[in-house]
Structure 1
Amino acid sequence: MEKFKTLEIVRASPGSAVFHLRLNRPSSRNALSLDSFAELPLALSSLDRNPDALVLVLSGAGHHFCSGIDLAALDSSPPPGDRGRAGERLRRHIKYLQDAVTAIERCRKPVIAAVHGACVGGGVDVATACDVRYCTEDAFFSVKEVDLAITADLGTLQRLPSIVGYGNAMELALTGRRVSGSEAKELGLVSRVFGSKRELDDGVRVIAEAIASKSPMAVTGTKAVLLKSRDMSIDQGLDYVATWNSAMLLSDDLTEAISAHTQKRKPVFAKL
Structure 2
Amino acid sequence: MPTVELSHSGHTATLTLTAKKGSMPPAFWQELPQALRKLGEARVLIVRGQDIFSAGLDVNATLPAIQQSGDFWGAVQPMQDALDAVAAVEIPVIAAVHGHCIGAGLELIAACDLRLCSANAQFSLPEVRLGLVADLGGLQRLPGIIGRGRTTHLALTGAPIDARTAESWGLVTGVLDTPEALFAQAEALAAQLAELPPHALKGTKQVLREALPHAEGLRQSGEFNAAALK
Q: Please tell me the TM-score bracket, short chain as reference.
A: over 0.9
Asked if structure 1 preserves the Cα contact closer than 8 Å seen for 2:66 and 2:75, the reply is no
Match of 2:49 among 47, 53, 60: 60
Partner of 1:189: 171
Check conservation: 1:45, 1:107, Cα contact below 8 A.
no
SS state of the match for residue 99, structure 1? helix
- Superposition TM-score, scaled by structure 1 size: 0.80
- In structure 1, distance between residues paired with 2:28 and 2:14: 16
The 2-side partners of 1:97 and 1:158 are apart by 15
Report the equivalent of 2:35: 43
User: How far did 1:8 drift?
Assistant: 1.0
2:229 paired with 1:250: yes
**Contact kept in structure 1, 2:24 and 2:57, CA below 8 Å:** yes
Question: What is the rounded CA distance, in whole Å, between the counterparts of 1:120 and 1:109 in structure 2?
Answer: 25
Are positions 1:240 and 2:223 aligned together? no
Contact 2:142 2:151 survives alignment (8 Å) = yes
- The aligned counterpart of 1:101 is 83
Q: State the Cα distance separating 1:106 from its structure 2 match.
A: 1.2
Amino acid at match of 1:67: A
Tell me, yes or no, if structure 1 residue 73 matches structure 2 residue 70.
no
Structure 2: distance between partners of 1:234 and 1:76: 44
* CA distances 1:159-212 after superposition (whole Å, capped 9, x unpaired): 111111111110111001111011100110000000001110111111110000
**2:17 aligns to what?**
23
After superposition, the C-alpha distances for 1:99-152 in whole angstroms (9 at most, x for unaligned) are 001111111111100000010001001010000000000010011111111000
Q: Distance in 2 between matches of 1:78 and 1:144?
A: 20
Unaligned runs of 5+ in 1: 81-85, 252-272
Residue 75 of structure 1, CA deviation: 2.6
The residue type paired with residue 40 of structure 1 is L
SS of the residue 1:100 aligns to: helix
Structure 1 counterpart of 2:110, one-letter code: T
Structure 1 position 5, deviation (Å): 1.1
Match of 2:25 in 1: 33
Structure with more contact order per residue of length (Cα contacts < 8 Å, sep ≥ 6): 2
How much is the aligned-residue C-alpha RMSD, in angstroms? 1.6
3-state SS in 2 of match to 1:34: coil
Tell me how many residue pairs correspond in the alignment. Answer: 229
Aligned equivalents of 2:24, 2:67: Cα separation in 1: 21
Aligned equivalents of 1:79, 1:69: Cα separation in 2: 17
- Check 1:226–1:196 CA distance in 2 against 1; reply closer, same or farther (3 A cut): same
- In the alignment, the residues of structure 1 paired with residue 127 and residue 189 of structure 2 have an alpha-carbon distance, to the nearest angstrom, of 32
1:225 aligned residue: 207
TM-score (norm 2): 0.95
The letter of the residue matching 1:93 is A
Matches of 2:140 and 2:112, distance apart in 1: 13
* Aligned residues with identical type, % of pairs: 36
- Structure 1 residues 183 and 64, CA, compared in 2 at 3 Å: closer, same or farther? same
Q: Does the 8 A contact of 2:66 with 2:72 survive in 1?
A: no
